[in-house]
Amino acid sequence: MIDSSSTPTTPAMPSIPASLPTVAVASLGGTISMTPSEAAGGVVPTLDATQLARSVPGLAEVAVIRTTSLRQLPSASLGYDDLMAALAWAEQEVEAGASGVVLTQGTDTLEETAFLLDLFWKSPAPLIVTGAMRAPQAAGADGPANLLAAVRTACHPDSAGRGVLVVMNDTVHYARWVSKSDALAVQAFASLDGGVAARLVEGRPTYFHGAAMRAQPLPRPVRAWPKVALVTAVLGDDGELAEMAVTGGYEALVVAAQGAGHVSFGYAQRIGTLTSRVPVVIASRAASGSTASQTYGYVGSEIDLARRGAHLSGWLSPLKTRLLVTALLASGTAAGDLGEALANWSKLTRR
């Protein structure tokens, strides 16, 4: 059954078994919701959550679906407030009895939004984020299959306690590890370091490992979201752009550094002066792998940058590091305590 109100209702159709779980689905926009617009010359977000749910064959036999339309945006235009609204919606739905919740959105920022939501998600109930690489009218549109797989994952008992999960192409990813690794392919998401959480076969997710290790959820923001710059260190770069960001008012700086956390001699010198003004965090710009901490000793190496007061982000990608720094500062961490807060966050536990 598909119920478009956001309050719990009793299934009206007698053919629905009473034992069906309830899954709440909310839409934020993205390709999954896009239809062609002559005026725009391409597809734009138009479909709401109820229309998306109704387009999925067999969905009503899997769960009682409660739909809510939160936004109709391309995902590059989602902001922190949109995501906090989605988080509040998800919490309310779980409190109202949903076994799990599913958010549909654009895939372009999905690795960021899933991670940001995961930082604050306290419930053992699964919060699933999904989308589509092909719009609904395209041949082989993947949105309906992804939504069905997301709902099946949301109400599967093995999905509990794993935080925010991304379901795309019959594959389940952890928010911490997932990245968009292809701009247009249907197989667009990868979890290069941590590995995928599960794959769906015949509609059932098979998890490859037991309970997930998770960080403690962060307290909700207590202040305005800070501006945290993310700057990529490139060949022939002396860090001028990084300094301009700090001078321009950014409260913290994340450098997507070369290799295991390395920059040029000139960049290293600049970082040495910037760390006395704002927190500086070094992440690796490589597609996978961690920053080192005790391997290289030359000027601009990870050891040198740490000595100059920068923090090393370890396994977290630059995109996710920027969000973690932003969320820590927003939830009340003082700039001077950021290094300790990052280290504490990295202590994973089973929850």
Q: Which residues bind ligand ASP (CB under 6 A)?
A: 30-31, 74-75, 106-108, 131, 133
- Calculate the CA dihedral of residues 191, 192, 194, 196 and round it to 10 degrees: 40
Residue 310: DSSP 8-state: -
Collapsed DSSP state (helix, strand, coil) of residue 51:
helix
**Is the Cβ–Cβ distance between 328 and 341 less than 8 Å?**
yes
Q: How far is the CB of 190 from ligand ASP (least distance, A)?
A: 15
CB 28, min distance to ligand ASP, A: 9
The total of other beta-carbon atoms located within 10 Å of residue 39's CB is 5
CB nearer to ligand ASP: give 48 or 237: 48
> C-beta of 81: minimal distance to ligand ASP in Å?
17
* Nearest CB to ligand ASP, comparing residues 44 and 303: 44
DSSP 3-state of 280? strand
Type of residue found at 217? P
Point out the catalytic residue in the list 7, 22, 31, 104. 31
- How far apart are CB 134 and ligand ASP at their closest, in Å? 9
Sign of the torsion formed by the C-alpha atoms of 259, 315, 326 and 277: negative
Q: Toward ligand ASP, which CB reaches closer, 52 or 242? A: 52
Nearer of residues 31 and 264 to ligand ASP, judged by Cβ: 31
Tell me which residue of 38, 30, 259, 53 sits closest to 147, measured CA to CA: 53
Residue among 133 and 341 whose Cβ is closer to ligand ASP: 133
- Residue 127's H or E segment, with its range, is strand 127-130
| Residue number of the CB atom closest to ligand ASP | 106
Q: Is 31 an annotated catalytic residue? A: yes
- Helix, strand, coil percentages for the chain (3-state, nearest 5): 30, 25, 45
Please state the closest distance from residue 104 (CB atom) to ligand ASP, in A.
Answer: 9
Q: What residues are annotated to the active site? A: 31
